[in-house]
Each structure stands twice: as structure tokens, then as C-alpha cells.
Amino acid sequence: MLNLNEFENKFVPTSIVHKLYIQKERPSLVMLKIFFYSCFLYITNHDKNKILKFKFSRLFLKSLKVDRTDLLRQISKAGFDAASIFSISQKTENITKKKMLIESFQYNEKTKMIEIEFTKYIDDYLNLGHFKKFNLSNLVKFKSSLSFWFFQEMENRSYSEKIDTWISLKNFANILGVKTDAYKNLSDFKKYVIDVVVKDYQKIAKTKLLKIDDSFYHIAKKGQTPYIHFVFDNYLIQDETKLFD
């Protein structure tokens, strides 16, 4: 018997989290789908029969904020959406075939029990190693996937003994999954991308960015490689790892 709270910090695919944000669904349903993805990984480590049963907590069911008569549809939809996104694409002779990872999905409204049976293809996907640990309680707070990827970049870098860091504009754009040429000029890129994600980051991580060097687009005009210079409050950075536990 599993409880939703056991999945508060688990491994989920980065690509799937990104797709969830693109869908712009309300946080409670995003959380539900992430829970299913956590199940995908859990089952390979604990249940070789590829069948998983668990029960939703009352607190989580309440957080969905849906009518009881609509509960089954919402949970079923999330389960099958997870299956449709969490699939493997293989190209054979110019034909792309998708291997679905959920064999069956059943929900008993009376007992609040869910039973998922996975196909044999789940091992193929999980073995690719595209999984990373996220704090699910923080994931749903971001306004966009761009802010999420910036948050991850800040988390993955070590600032315990640093007060600043340099990131090339090209690498920064790759991290966020955007193209600088989609904007009229680099000053627009700073205004509509950099400033937005940094503002969102400040609200979530509460780590002060004292300065962002906005002269990088002037450097680019001289034919030099443009870098973004982030200057942090070193006092707060010392406890940064605690913010991401």
C-alpha cells in the first residue's frame, strides 16, 4: 500500500516535467501526473510484476478541488495522459512507433484504490537514465517552464564559495530551451526572458541576485562572445542547499 506523500521527493524525467508546464494545467493536476511518473520509476525497484496498487490520501483528493462525481474522470484522465506522454518512440524504416507504457488503469471510487499494470516497455525507457530528482512541492510554484529550467541551473551549480557566476548567452538560451533569434534584439531577450525568469526565481528560491550585468548585448556587437554575469548575495548563498532539500 502506497501513499502519495511517499512521492514528495522522487525521480521524474526532466522532459516530462517540461511538457507538463507547457500544458499550463493547474498545479493540483500537474502534481497528480508527476505522481504517476514517480510510480513508473518506483515499480521497477519494488514490483517486478509491473503491477502497482496505492491509495490517495484525503488531503490530496481535497487539493484536486473537483466535484466528487468528476473525481473518477479527472484521475483517469491524468493516468492516461501520463501514458500518452510517457511513451517510447522508435523509428523503423521511416515509421515512428510509440510503445505505450501502461497496459491497464483502474480506479475503485469506493475504496479509493488505484491499480496500474505496466507493459514490458517501461524497463526500456527507465534504463535510458533520463531521470532527475526534483522537489515536487517547488515544481508547481513556477509560472513557466523557463523559470523552472533556470531554477534547476542555479541548483546544479555550486555557489558555496562564490559570489558570482558567468554563463554564456548561448548556453543560457540552451538551458531554457529558447532561441535568441526569436527576439528582435538581445535587449528584448533580456527583458522578456532573463528578467522574467530571474524574478520568478527570486520568489521561489529567495536567494538574492544583487546584480545582473545587462551590458552583454553591447559586447556581442563588438563580435565577442556574450556572457551573462550573475552576482549573488554571498551571505544567503551559503545556505542555498537548504532551499532545495
CA distance 236 to 154: 13
CA distance 100 to 83: 6
In a domain, 28, yes or no: yes
Q: Are residues 89 and 147 in the same domain?
A: no
**Number of structural domains, the chain?**
2
Compute the average pLDDT of residues 185-200.
80
Q: Are residues 120 and 147 in the same domain?
A: no
188 has pLDDT over 70: yes
In a domain, 42, yes or no: yes
Q: Are residues 25 and 121 in the same domain?
A: yes
Most confident of the ranges 22-36, 67-81, 123-137: 67-81
Instruction: Give long-range contacts, CB 8 A cutoff, 24+ apart: 57-60.
Output: 57/3, 57/4, 57/5, 60/4, 60/31
Q: Are residues 116 and 153 in the same domain?
A: no
Question: DSSP of 32-78, one letter per residue?
Answer: HHHHHHHHHHHHHHH-TT-EEEEE--HHHHHHT---HHHHHHHHHHH
Distances (CA, A) of 183 to 9, 139, 193, 218, 219: 37, 27, 10, 16, 17
CA distance 121 to 108: 26
- Rounded to a whole number of angstroms, the CA Rg of the chain reads 21
Q: Are residues 122 and 77 in the same domain?
A: yes
Residues paired with residue 211 on neighbouring β-strands, in sequence order: 231
In a domain, 2, yes or no: no
Range(s) of the domain holding residue 54: 11-127
CB 55 within 8 A of CB 2: yes
Residue 240 has what pLDDT? 35
Amino acid at 139: L
CA distance 116 to 53: 7
Residue 2 has what pLDDT? 41
CA 130-133-139 angle, 5° bins: 110
- pLDDT confidence band for 139 (50 / 70 / 90): low
Question: What CATH number does the domain containing 175 carry?
Answer: 1.10.10
Residues 6 or more apart in contact with residue 225 via CB below 8 angstroms? 168, 169, 170, 219
Grid coordinates belonging to 218: 553591447
Note the helical H segments in the chain. 14-23, 27-46, 58-63, 68-85, 122-126, 136-139, 145-156, 169-176, 186-189, 195-205, 216-221, 234-237, 240-243
Q: What is the pLDDT of residues 25-75, one digit of tens each?
A: 555 555 566 666 566 556 555 555 666 666 666 666 666 666 666 666 666
Q: What is the pLDDT of residues 145-176, one digit of tens each?
A: 677 677 767 766 655 456 677 777 888 888 77
